[in-house]
Structure 1
């Protein structure tokens, strides 16, 4: 997908809370919005080159969203709204090979007590499939992990996907790694052991576990290759 809005580069200064950061843009310090509640401490370090997306909304307190940053020479998208958009585009284009037979695509559908990112339909067999998407920004030496902060909600989704499978419907979780050139994906058991254990349990119960990296630049991002998963 192409980011149609105006893009600028800046230097990261500090992040006083989850939603705000200060950057230096064209010699001026200004506050920007951070569309990611994760910690991103290994990415957002003082002096890091960051990517801003202009948001021309007069009701906003900030003119820009901080959507990506360079970690060394690796560009990492941190916009938490991006993964669902990228995956939806990939589903429509048949890029998620394991799910290419599901041509009916609906966003934000509920099952039980959870709202999942996608409900898919095989329009020939009428089989249904519930898909949850998780964005991944944590990387070290080519190893990517999720989550970067404890996630009760993420664990709840995994347990609900198991319940989906019990009804005979398809169920899966897709980890979208918001960067290029990575080696493997694994759950971050040191950060959230309950989530990691729930992911292993979900796989044992037939829930599909998928991971894909992305091709990206400062003004585009798209689903790329399937990545090996270590559980």
Structure 2
């Protein structure tokens, strides 16, 4: 299955605080306290707790204000690792579509990335191999998990809700096939569901999407300090059967 290595060696560090959405204060193993860029703007409050171990990648641009980028974070029980790079999900899926290794889309061919329809831009445009049908695919990165269930989003997402609404409308008018692929950037998620307690509007729109013909898929990943690998499929449950306490 598709594998993306981390390009530069990772440095272990300790999380201190998060002064804003995109900056972390961390302590390197040398004892130096410095700043690191955080690519994931989500809440991440379950992951970013004082003293938690992070893995950092050195910045490729020597002129950048932050010398490091946060790549991985350990979980509370020190396993598994969780990716802090939301864009990795798109890179993984794009490569897998190119390699034709996703059974969910075995009859579909990748046409291009970043395809605009109306006022929105969707992650991937695909064409059916034998039918005159096109599909729009949107990828969502999942980093929050509880009791083996991946949960999305971990913060209110007006943009994500808008994408779901538009995919539903396009599916209903019959001109497009539409799909959402949730990628759990951690290996301990056996299923994925909407986090209705965090963003009830997104959860409601996802249920409407399922009923309106939008295809919902999930995938796990396997992470190490060497890279990330796209894992096995996992089900998406837009109608959770168990109540959370």
TM-score range, shorter-chain basis? over 0.9
The answer to whether the aligner puts 1:97 opposite 2:103 as a matched pair is yes
Equivalence for 2:15: 12
1:3 to 2, 6, 22: 6
TM-superposition CA deviations, 1:36-90 (whole Å, max 9, x none): 1101010011111111111220331011110110002210002111110011112
2:222 to 215, 221, 229: 215
CA RMSD of aligned residues (A): 1.3
2:52 to 48, 53, 64: 48
Q: How far off is 1:123 after superposition? A: 4.5
Q: How far off is 1:105 after superposition? A: 3.4
Equivalence for 2:192: 185
Identify unmatched segments of 5+ residues in structure 1. none
Counterpart-to-counterpart distance in 1, 2:17 and 2:176: 46
Counterpart-to-counterpart distance in 2, 1:221 and 1:126: 35
Contact (CA 8 Å) 2:97, 2:110: kept in 1 or not?
no
Matches for 1:79-98 after TM superposition, within 5 Å: 79-98=85-104
State TM-score, norm by structure 2: 0.90
Counterpart-to-counterpart distance in 1, 2:102 and 2:118: 26
Equivalence for 1:169: 176
Contact (CA 8 Å) 1:130, 1:164: kept in 2 or not?
no
Equivalence for 1:75: 81
Q: How far off is 1:97 after superposition? A: 1.1
Pairs aligned (count): 231
Identify unmatched segments of 5+ residues in structure 2. 240-245
Q: How far off is 1:181 after superposition? A: 2.7
